[in-house]
């Protein structure tokens, strides 16, 4: 009732594009789909196990990209303001997004393997340097839940909140939501499913603030603004950021995970191979295409070839919005006011 009243008020008073017609999440009551797919595929193609393990080059590529970002920041801030802004979007935005996706790989221990957790955490700290916002440890803490409990009503904080569904309801507000994606992505877990702060998160924060101080003092305030702005711009209205939406938004009703097979995978650690990644999270980025080659019949489903098209479609299509996600668990609108005990029987 409250949701309908708020949406009705906003719609009647602020007409800024087509209103989204999807007004609630799609609820399912089965298990997340990838565990059963994994079991079936390994029984049929046991050779996939040979793909498990870390990528041998990641621990060298990440420091190289970080070094390039810091050195380029020194020279770029000497350019005119318009050039700094453009390069913050085009260069720093692209590479900072690349490093955020490197942290995604590292969260699965794919830089040094499960036998070296401390080295994985350290290389995650290194990848975090140019982003200027401490996020490596917190991302890992929540992202692994996204895999284990995909679509869970509370535990999967990758899903937009009710607030986002209500207030980003038309073309214009969806554009604002896309621009502010990094903000919502970072603060949503604190409201949806807050967790205790871990010791490594404190170290991650001290590490990042220390590097911010060093960049400010030795390269300059504009360099820090350039790198931090690159994070905001690169994770917002940017072609690379199309993966946030392409991965799990239900452009096709009933399908909850999608892959992208386009050229930006070369800059994104193959995160576009997203069905493959959820099926086998311990296959590193460089080997994910091989999974599809071994078991092609499991990936004959709708996919994407352009993240820019995904962003355009999300913003302009009235059937797609923050509610275009699959949730697992009880729909809050259908929860009985008083428990009768019948819920357990239904399960």
Q: What DSSP assignment string belongs to 154-207?
A: TT-TTSPPHHHHHH--BHHHHHHHHHTHHHHHHHHHHHHS--PPPHHHHHHHHH
Provide the pLDDT for residue 330: 63
The predicted-structure confidence for 296-323, as pLDDT tens digits, reads as follows 999 999 999 999 999 999 999 999 999 9
> Residue 281 and residue 147: Cα distance in Å, rounded?
8
Helix axes 136-148 and 93-107, enclosed angle (nearest 10) = 60
Instruction: Give the residue carrying structure tokens 């101080």.
Output: 213
The predicted-structure confidence for 168-180, as pLDDT tens digits, reads as follows 999 999 999 999 9
Provide the pLDDT for residue 254: 84
Residue segments in the chain with a per-residue pLDDT below the cut of 50:
1-2, 6, 9-14, 335-347
Provide the pLDDT for residue 341: 37
Q: Which residues contact 197 (CB under 8 A, 6 or more apart)?
A: none
For the whole prediction, is pTM greater than 0.85? Answer: yes
> Residue 308 and residue 238: Cα distance in Å, rounded?
8
DSSP string, 240-265: GGHHHHHTT--SSTT-----B-SGGG
Which of 136, 159, 183 is closest to 248 using CA atoms?
Answer: 159
DSSP state at residue 152: B
Q: Under DSSP, is residue 84 helix (H, G, I), strand (E, B) or coil? A: helix
Per the structure block, which two tokens stand in for 122? 């350290």
Terminal CA-CA length for the chain: 27
Q: What is the largest CA-CA distance in the chain?
A: 69
Length of the chain: 347
Q: How many CB atoms within 10 Å of residue 186?
A: 14
Q: Which residues contact 218 (CB under 8 A, 6 or more apart)?
A: none
Provide the pLDDT for residue 87: 98
Provide the pLDDT for residue 94: 98
Which of 16, 337, 10, 58 is closest to 171 using CA atoms?
Answer: 16
Provide the pLDDT for residue 4: 53
């Amino acid at each position: 009732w409250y949701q309908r009243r708020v949406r009705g008020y906003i719609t009647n008073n602020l007409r800024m594009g087509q209103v989204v017609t999807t007004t609630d999440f799609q609820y399912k009551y089965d298990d997340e789909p990838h565990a059963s797919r994994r079991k079936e595929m390994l029984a049929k193609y046991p050779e996939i196990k040979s793909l498990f393990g870390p990528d041998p080059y990641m621990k060298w590529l990440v420091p190289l990209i970080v070094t390039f970002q810091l050195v380029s920041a020194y020279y770029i801030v000497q350019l005119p303001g318009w050039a700094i802004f453009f390069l913050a979007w085009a260069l720093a935005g692209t590479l900072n997004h690349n490093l955020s996706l490197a942290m995604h790989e590292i969260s699965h221990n794919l830089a040094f393997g499960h036998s070296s957790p401390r080295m994985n955490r350290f290389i995650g700290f290194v990848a975090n340097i140019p982003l200027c916002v401490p996020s490596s440890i917190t991302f890992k803490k929540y992202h692994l839940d996204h895999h284990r409990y995909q679509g869970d009503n509370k535990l999967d904080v990758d899903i937009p909140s009710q607030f986002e569904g209500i207030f980003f309801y038309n073309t214009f507000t969806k554009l604002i939501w896309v621009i502010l994606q990094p903000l919502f992505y970072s603060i949503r877990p604190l409201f949806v499913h807050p967790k205790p702060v871990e010791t490594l998160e404190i170290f991650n924060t001290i590490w990042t603030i220390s590097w911010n101080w060093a960049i400010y003092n030795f390269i300059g305030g504009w360099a820090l603004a350039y790198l931090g702005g690159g994070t905001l711009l690169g994770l917002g209205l940017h072609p690379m950021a199309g993966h946030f939406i392409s991965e799990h938004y239900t452009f096709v009703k009933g399908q909850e995970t999608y892959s992208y097979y386009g050229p930006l995978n070369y800059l994104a650690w193959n995160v576009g191979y997203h069905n493959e990644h959820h099926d086998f999270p311990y296959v590193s980025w460089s080997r994910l295409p091989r999974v599809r080659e071994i078991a092609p019949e499991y990936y004959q489903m709708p996919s994407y070839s352009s993240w820019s098209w995904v962003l355009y479609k999300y913003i302009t299509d009235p059937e797609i919005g923050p509610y275009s996600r699959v949730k697992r668990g009880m729909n809050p609108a259908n929860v009985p006011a008083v428990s009768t005990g019948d819920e357990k029987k239904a399960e």
